[in-house]
Amino acid sequence: MRIAILSRSQSIYSTQRLVEAAQARDHEVRVVDTLRCYMNIASARPTIHYRGEQLAPFDAVIPRIGASITFYGTAVLRQFEMIGTFPLNESVAVTRSRDKLRSLQLLARRGIGMPVTGFARAPDDIGDVIEMVGGPPLVVKLLEGTQGIGVVLCETRKAAESVLEAFMGLNVSIMVQEYIKEAGGADIRCFVIGDKVVAAIKRQAPPGEFRSNLHRGGNADVVKITPQERAVATRAARIMGLNVAGVDILRSNHGPLVMEVNSSPGFEGIEQATSKDIADLIIQFLEKNARKDRTRTRGKG
Ligand code: ADP
Ligand code: MG
């Protein structure tokens, strides 16, 4: 196969691993810098151009689109889909996953458990929303935050009110969430490929921190997940329309709660903790599934 990896740089761990895995399985692979793609969108025969050349069609494209370039990155991915390239994750699903509120609404509609979550716009509604999620302690999140930045634990009503007022004053979108204390600063990252959880790690926040993100100093250990957690993770990925996803789960007193579903989950922490060859499993998935013009949401924007 001819495989394109949409990524800002060859030297990113996950990108590097995908290149190695594709080459090891005798595929032709090329890393394409997402921001250097430009395209003719109006033509009857859409094209993608790259640093002055027109790209010959690929059989499959692996999007590794960073949160800061979601808008342009998903437009480029959509163009690949328009010319019939099979996307590992399709543009619509990537777009959904980047908006925490939209994702949670989609998952809630299908009965996936999640922390009680409120959403409001006007400062006058702050008091009610705090009540709605069960009062303090609670978590306030920026809708488009990532790597734990923009996630704040408010232990008192006063703190919650001030943080909510401040964010609303800045005109950013936020949600308010019940704090799952019993998770103890840990979450479970389930790496889903197709309809399977291929690896899972428990990420533990350092002392004094509740966010378990590895970027926030959390550490990762292999973990055995329950059949219920396995089922929730694969269902969540399927509902989002993602073939490959990092599904983050909090272990609560009333079972697994999905916190978020990542469409470009990194491999480094999970490969090192579990010794699983995630990159190879992804290439194998493409070998089995890549077909021309097989985007499930093709034409749905
Ligand atoms: P990001 O997209 O920035 O990673 P998350 O929603 O994943 O944001 O939150 C970051 C971390 O904060 C999570 O990995 C988890 O450890 C902790 N966390 C988030 N929401 C809650 C919650 N409702 N209760 C307890 N811990 C939470
Ligand atoms: Mg997270």
Confidence grade of residue 111 (pLDDT, cut at 50, 70, 90): very high
- Residue 301, pLDDT > 70, answer no
Average pLDDT over residues 213-227: 93
Q: Residue 136: CB partners within 8 Å, gap ≥ 6?
A: 130, 154, 155, 156, 157, 159, 160, 179
DSSP string, 38-99: EEE-SSSS-EEEETTEEPPP-SEEEE---GGGHHHHHHHHHHHHHTTPEESS-HHHHHHHT-
State the DSSP H helix or E strand holding residue 128, giving kind and residue range, or none if neither. Answer: helix 126-132
pLDDT 10s digits, 28-53: 999 999 999 999 988 788 899 999 99
Atom of ligand 1 nearest to the CA of 139: 23
Helix (H, G, I), strand (E, B) or coil at 271: helix
Pocket test for ligand 1, best of 100, 213, 252, 254 (most atoms within 8 A of CB): 213
Residue 101 burial (C-beta neighbours within 10 Å; 0-12, 13-18, 19+): middle
pLDDT at 293: 76
Give me the count of residues in the chain: 301
pLDDT 10s digits, 55-101: 999 999 999 999 889 999 999 999 999 999 999 999 999 999 998 88
pLDDT at 41: 86
184 DSSP 8-state letter: T
Residue type, 72: Y
Q: Which ligand is nearest to the CA of 212?
A: 1
Calculate what percentage of the chain has a pLDDT beyond 70: 98
pLDDT at 255: 96
pLDDT at 121: 87
What is the token pair recorded at 6? 């949409």
Residues with CB under 6 A from ligand 1: 115, 139, 141, 145-148, 151, 177-180, 183, 187, 205, 210-213, 248, 250, 259-260
Q: Which ligand is nearest to the CA of 246?
A: 2
Atom of ligand 1 nearest to the CA of 180: 24
- Residue 299, pLDDT > 50, answer no
Confidence grade of residue 297 (pLDDT, cut at 50, 70, 90): low
Pocket test for ligand 1, best of 70, 107, 117, 151 (most atoms within 8 A of CB): 151
Domains observed in the chain: 2-89 (3.40.50.20), 99-112+182-263 (3.30.470.20), 117-179 (3.30.1490.20)
Q: How far is the CA of 147 from the centre of ligand 2 (A)?
A: 6
Q: Residue 25: CB partners within 8 Å, gap ≥ 6?
A: 280, 283, 284, 287
Q: How far is the CA of 127 from the centre of ligand 2 (A)?
A: 26
Q: Which ligand is nearest to the CA of 153?
A: 1
Q: Is there a contact between 236 and 189 (Cβ–Cβ < 8 Å)?
A: no
pLDDT at 296: 61
Residue nearest to atom 23 of ligand 1 (CA): 179
Confidence grade of residue 194 (pLDDT, cut at 50, 70, 90): very high
